Amino acid sequence: MSNSDIQLDVLATDQSSEVIIVDSSFHVLARGIQRVQLKVPPGIYRAKAKVGDQQSEKLFSVEPNEPNGYKLVELDPLEFSSPIPLQQTSTSRTFHQNAICSATAADGTTVQLGRGAAIVILLRDASLVYSDFNADELAAYGKNFQGFTLSSLDGSEPHSLEAIGKLVPEQGYLIASAAIDPGTYVLSHLTSGTERQCLPLVIPPGWALQVFVSMAPAGDAAIVRQADFDGAAMVLDRPGAGFNPDRPDLRVLEVARQALARGHNVIDSNAMAVLLSGKFENPMMGIFAVHLLLLSKTPDLELAQKVVTNTGNLIGASCPDLLILSWKLGQLRGTSGASDSKVLVESVKGPPMLQLSWHYFMEAYRSLADKDVLDKGISRMARQLVSSSVWMSWLDSANYHSVSADAIGHSASHTPQEEDTFTSSTAIPQVLPELEKSMDSPSFDVGRITRAIHRGANRVKGKVSNWYKARTDAVSLDLPTLETFKVELPNSDETYLETALEKAGAAVHLKLQSVEADAAARIFESLVERVDWKSVLGQLKSVTHHGGEPHPLTPLQRQLLLSLKAAREQFEDEGEVLEDAVRRRLSIPDVPLNAILYDLNLFHLIAKNLDKKHSSSLAKAIVQASHD
């Protein structure tokens, strides 16, 4: 910097714009949000503003004789695309704005499905393709909006959006507005014959959730549209507050959502602090903000905690996303421990809205010694997650649940029911009774008590071993040596037995934790060695390729089949299955291990019941099950 440098001030109209200054050698001199100020020597520069998927540029010169040694450069506003019909976006449509304004107004048309909260869902097509359609084409186009359902989390009380909403195909939208009980709901739509994609909607008491879904072109036909759940936008507002398409915080919300989709934080802490200082009551922004802060290299944890607290004050701290974020921040700040992870997993009974929240939730779950505390409904979702960039989403189909029984020849006794999966947690509750049996006469003889505990532990080990053997046939497990654990015995008479048992039980439990991972690896290896998965996959692909229905497999099952095929190829090439590689393949970050075990068990049972010489019959069995 020299005395001749000029103070440069580059300002973007949009407060959510990223601003970048580049010199004539194409070096980036500075970047910031909405405004960048720096001293530069006279020369020619380029300023860029980026918002969402759009960018504007301006070439400008800085002269040696700028008045007062100061140069101001203002950048034009940008139009990006959004499922929310915001002003100054490329997808803004007045009739969609009118529809959402009417539905969110205090006197808006609302169906009564409950009370205490509200929901507004707008499915809209910003393409204007419908403006040229004749009556027949409009009728066909309108079918794109069929098959959407709002239901409770367990699938009960389904309401068709067509039935509770208003379809206006000539303007490319369907809008549904309802008073509803606070809680977690599912918005779903049919993606194929029986398969539905599900999106969780968390509606806090006293709030209205506005859900905006783009109906995007699908396939070659101009008339076909498909709901873009992953690109949906959600806004929390007060019921009856109306809709203002000029709200600047909604633009920021959209920029934040797009940043989350890309996994990058483009909103710096200062801008975030300004946005969250109480200027806007936008709880969804709070959740986005914390996730974005956590994507930073050095997240401002104090600010993030403040945002979680403030957002919790607005919508209630029991919102799954907030519970999970609070736990994550506690971990990062070192203020929470293992017990907090258990409390979190036990207290979350419904899915979070954001995919990243789920990711952190699984982080908490994996850290637990007792894996049995995961809600069964959530466990099932984990097996059916679909790819998404912002919102959590899963597939559901009645066929998922019919495959297991049909494919193994109705061998119901081997079907892995929810309550009988390959998890050590099933056997763990037996630890304490076995120990009690071994300690038939409470005594203060430490050696005797220790021997009794070891005897009990080994009985548990035997039971676990038999439990697995009964179900895995040739699969053998290396159960941990239990004789080596030590139990510190207390010397208080009153608490002696109880405390000793608790400590011994916990120690055995800890030892057996690895059994689940070991079981998964052993079953996987056994499957690789016994079945030609290349052939199985080839057959499954062939069915779809030749016009058959897609296979009723969950996303996790498909993923496991691919892993099995790759491992099989390596097995055929190298003559062995590398244990490290197996464990890596089974390390699926967002899926609990018992869900993986469940599906591996299913494959194992199917394979066991089929002719091993013709492993491709496994594929035929699965396909047959899908057509039954």
Interacting residue ranges for other proteins, rule: CB under 8 A: 22-28, 42-46, 53-55, 57, 59-61, 261-264, 355, 359, 385-389, 534, 537-538, 540-542, 544-545, 550-551, 553, 555-556, 558-559, 561-563, 565-567, 569-570, 574, 578, 580-581, 584-585, 588-590
Q: How far is the CB of 18 from other proteins (least distance, A)?
A: 13
Closer Cβ to other proteins, 233 or 449, answer by number: 233
Residue 308 tokens read as: 């979680």
CA atoms of 148 and 196, how far apart (whole Å):
9
Q: How far is the CB of 615 from other proteins (least distance, A)?
A: 14
H-run or E-run covering 522: helix 496-530
Closer Cβ to other proteins, 334 or 589, answer by number: 589
Q: How far is the CB of 421 from other proteins (least distance, A)?
A: 20
Q: How far is the CB of 558 from other proteins (least distance, A)?
A: 5
Q: How far is the CB of 590 from other proteins (least distance, A)?
A: 6
Closer Cβ to other proteins, 20 or 508, answer by number: 20
CB pairs under 8 A, 24+ apart, for 141-146? 141/169, 141/223, 141/225, 142/167, 142/169, 144/215, 144/223, 144/224, 144/225, 144/226, 145/169, 145/174, 145/215
Q: How far is the CB of 577 from other proteins (least distance, A)?
A: 8
Nearest 5°: CA angle at 612, between 607 and 614?
105
CA atoms of 618 and 628, how far apart (whole Å):
15
Closer Cβ to other proteins, 234 or 561, answer by number: 561
> Tokens 């499954």 identify what position?
540
> Tokens 């079918």 identify what position?
143
Closer Cβ to other proteins, 46 or 247, answer by number: 46
Q: What are φ and ψ of residue 497, in 5° steps?
A: -65, -50
Q: How far is the CB of 541 from other proteins (least distance, A)?
A: 5
Closer Cβ to other proteins, 390 or 515, answer by number: 390
H-run or E-run covering 21: strand 18-22
Strands (E), 457-599: none
First-to-last alpha carbon distance for the chain, in angstroms, is 77
Spell 254-278 as b/e; 16+ CB within 10 A means b: bbbbbbbeeeebbbbbebbeebbee
Closer Cβ to other proteins, 55 or 458, answer by number: 55
Q: How far is the CB of 221 from other proteins (least distance, A)?
A: 13
Q: Which residue from 74, 69, 9, 67 is spatially nearest to 38, judged by alpha carbons?
A: 9
Closer Cβ to other proteins, 184 or 563, answer by number: 563
Closer Cβ to other proteins, 118 or 292, answer by number: 292
Q: Which residue from 323, 330, 272 is spatially nearest to 296, judged by alpha carbons?
A: 272
Q: How far is the CB of 168 from other proteins (least distance, A)?
A: 30
Q: How far is the CB of 349 from other proteins (least distance, A)?
A: 22
Nearest 5°: CA angle at 109, between 105 and 110?
100
Closer Cβ to other proteins, 385 or 408, answer by number: 385
The answer to whether 119 and 211 are in contact (CB under 8 A) is yes
Distances (CA, A) of 39 to 11, 42, 70, 303: 15, 10, 9, 30
Closer Cβ to other proteins, 149 or 563, answer by number: 563
Q: How far is the CB of 216 from other proteins (least distance, A)?
A: 13
The answer to whether 71 and 37 are in contact (CB under 8 A) is no
CA atoms of 474 and 481, how far apart (whole Å):
21
